[in-house]
Structure 1
Amino acid sequence: MLGKRVIGRRVNRDEAEKPFWISFADLMTALMVLFLVVMGVALLAVTKNVTERERKQEQHRKNIEEIMRRFEEAAKRHEGIKVDKQRQVIDFGQRARFAFGDWRLTPQQEDVLRRFVPEILMLANDELGKSILKRIVVEGYTDKTGTYLANLNLSLQRSQKVLCTMFATTGQSLLSDDQKEQVRALFFVGGYSFNAAKDTDEESRRVEMRLEFLGVDENRTAPPASARNFGECALR
């Protein structure tokens, strides 16, 4: 009888412990499944974000290539003007070449610039242009003759003269007030002294327009409203 009672107690104790261990195992299994689900969702979210960012970057690259192609097509309609896709600049070549130590352009050179600018504005302000083009920097260059600071000032004068040409009130192919307003909002002046000099001094005395592009998800800043008081150029 005693033996039977002892055996009976052991059986009852084992049976009492079984529900606890089964419950603990189920809990660990549930936690593991929950962990795997959470990690799966996290990895999916990260992958989705990376994929979306890569898609935007690829579309951004294609947009730049497309607008550069359009600028190149526009330049072909004007003899002597070229587009360097690699450097992303508009090179006017002989059409905007300066004499030694001078910042002035001939009336013919000014006419060429004013006839090409409306095409730039049209491309810059269509749907693609507004989504990708940030601004256009007019960069003047000099040859290596003279001091750095003197040439820096001369290169700035050459850039400024190109902008002044766009705001001229006399001469051929004058821009309208609407176009001048767009020029003021889009164009900037830069000077580069004799940095990036060409093979010859004559080729170095030039002006280029460098295209700067918006970053991914960046928007072009709207210019502040202002009266159309453009003033007069200080360079004569």
Structure 2
Amino acid sequence: MFGVQTPARRRSRDDGEKPFWISFSDLMTALMVLFLVALSVALLAVTKQVSEAEREEKQRTEQISALMREIRRMASQFDGVSVIGTTIDFGPRGRFEREGQNTLSEPQRALLRQFSPLLIEQLRTTEAGKNWFKRATVEGYASRSGKYLFNLNLSLERSERVLCELLRDPGHDEAALSFADRTLVATRFFVGGASFNSLRATADDSRRIEIKLEFKSRQERKDDAAPTEPAADDGALQQALDPKERCPLTDR
């Protein structure tokens, strides 16, 4: 009357587990692929950053080298003036005639009036000047004669004397620097006092003036390009360019 019931076939333990293990294996494979893709992208990004940094550094080096070659060419037109690295050495023509003296002779003043506009034009208009020029430090030197503090002050005065000459009131003097050149001097030229820390073979050669050019690093250029708070006023610049301003040094 009743059919014979066949007992249900029990699923094998392996049949139940196989799909799980296959899915887990696929998942691990997918994760490994994602990891390799992410690693490749990260490596490409790092490589790109390194390549960009190398490109910028190469561009910086080439532009500065081109600027210094032009400055050396300019200096060669003036007897006694030479360029060593990024330092402009006026040689015998920049030598102070007497110990303890901070004044420039008329030929020395004429040399500054002739050479400085050419230099400043390069710093103001070339790619290296616009992109990388940081500052120019006018270094005054003294011989070992005299006391240390006296020589230190004398070095500062000799450096300041050069800036006084560059920033002097143009008046009706056609040889004076232009307003644009004087603005660059007032904002980018600084006084340095090296005293007798860089002596030459003789005391006469030690009493000299040099202009050292400094250039920005890539990071410094990026920092300068970042937006900053505007200056409260340009009073300091106006004072430096005030035609009534007189050099505070006394001749001695």
Structure-2 residue corresponding to 1:233 = 247
- Alpha-carbon RMSD across the aligned residues, in angstroms, is 2.3
> 1-side partners of 2:18 and 2:117: how far apart?
86
> 2-side partners of 1:181 and 1:161: how far apart?
17
Q: TM-score, normalised by structure 1?
A: 0.89
> 1-side partners of 2:17 and 2:190: how far apart?
82
Deviation per CA, 1:119-176, whole angstroms, max 9, x where unpaired?
0110001141111111111000011112211110000010011111113348782223
Q: Give the number of aligned pairs.
A: 229
> 2-side partners of 1:169 and 1:17: how far apart?
95
Structure-2 residue corresponding to 1:125 = 124
**Residues 215-234 of structure 1 mapped to structure 2, 5 A cutoff:** 215-219=217-221, 225=234, 226-227=237-238, 228-230=241-243, 231-234=245-248
Q: What is the identity, as a one-letter code, of the residue corresponding to 1:118?
A: P
> 2-side partners of 1:195 and 1:180: how far apart?
30
Structure-2 residue corresponding to 1:79 = 79
Structure-2 residue corresponding to 1:9 = 10
Q: Say yes or no: does 1:150 pair with 2:150.
A: yes
**Residues 86-235 of structure 1 mapped to structure 2, 5 A cutoff:** 88-98=86-96, 99-128=98-127, 129-169=129-169, 173-219=175-221, 225=234, 226-227=237-238, 228-230=241-243, 231-235=245-249
Contact preservation (8 Å) 1:124, 1:130: yes
Deviation per CA, 1:102-121, whole angstroms, max 9, x where unpaired?
11111111110111110011
Deviation per CA, 1:73-104, whole angstroms, max 9, x where unpaired?
1111222211112xx10000111101212111
> 1-side partners of 2:65 and 2:92: how far apart?
26
Deviation per CA, 1:183-203, whole angstroms, max 9, x where unpaired?
212211110100011111111
Identity of aligned residues (%): 44
> 1-side partners of 2:41 and 2:178: how far apart?
57
> 1-side partners of 2:179 and 2:104: how far apart?
22
Q: Unaligned stretches of 5+ in structure 1?
A: none
Structure-2 residue corresponding to 1:35 = 35
SS of residue paired to 1:9: coil
Q: What is the identity, as a one-letter code, of the residue corresponding to 1:119?
A: L
Q: TM-score, normalised by structure 2?
A: 0.83
> 1-side partners of 2:219 and 2:78: how far apart?
34
Report the alpha carbon displacement of residue 181 of structure 1 after superposing the two structures with TM: 2.1
> 2-side partners of 1:192 and 1:216: how far apart?
28
Contact preservation (8 Å) 2:60, 2:132: yes
Q: Which moved more, 1:120-129 or 1:214-223?
A: 214-223
Structure-2 residue corresponding to 1:61 = 61
Q: Which moved more, 1:147-156 or 1:224-233?
A: 224-233
